[in-house]
Amino acid sequence: MTLDTQLTLALLQELLMALRANDADGYKGWLALGIEQLGRDVAGEVESDWMVPLLVEEERGQLLTRFGSSHHAK
């Protein structure tokens, strides 16, 4: 595994942990570091190709949980 691949995976992990902790400043800091270390294209790709779909999936899960809970309560 190349160093760039390792850095990209580490960035993805840190961004995900910041999101799960609801840490906007941490997320922005890791994204800025990713841009500095990997370049804007790679960091932007991590965010658009990995983080956005993860967020959408997580929000979809939350909506289904809410809907399912209220649906079963009726």
Tell me which residue range forms the domain holding 13. 3-73
Which of the pair, 58 or 47, is modelled with greater confidence?
47
Give which of 45, 48, 46 is closest to 14, Cα–Cα.
46
**Predicted structure pTM score:** 0.65
Mean pLDDT, the chain, as a whole number?
Answer: 80
* Greatest C-alpha distance within the chain: 54
Q: How many domains does the chain have?
A: 1
How many Cα atoms occupy the beta-carbon half-sphere of 68 within 13 Å?
Answer: 6
* pLDDT on residue 68: 64
